[in-house]
């Protein structure tokens, strides 16, 4: 149970990280 939660948290962090990269590449001037 605890291991699944850690894996889920890591997946969320990776998702937010890639979402930030997409926003940066989508709006490079801002």
Name the one residue in this structure whose structure tokens are 């939660």: 5
- For the question of whether the overall pTM of this predicted structure is more than 0.75, the answer is no
Which pLDDT score, from 0 to 100, does residue 30 have? 56
Name the one residue in this structure whose structure tokens are 């890639």: 18
Helix ranges, the chain (H): 2-26
pLDDT tens digits, one per residue of 1-30: 677 888 899 999 999 999 888 887 777 655
Cα(25)–Cα(18) distance, integer angstroms: 11
């Amino acid at each position: 149970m605890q291991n699944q939660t850690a894996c889920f948290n890591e997946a969320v962090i990776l998702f937010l990280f890639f979402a930030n990269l997409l926003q940066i590449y989508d709006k490079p001037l801002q």
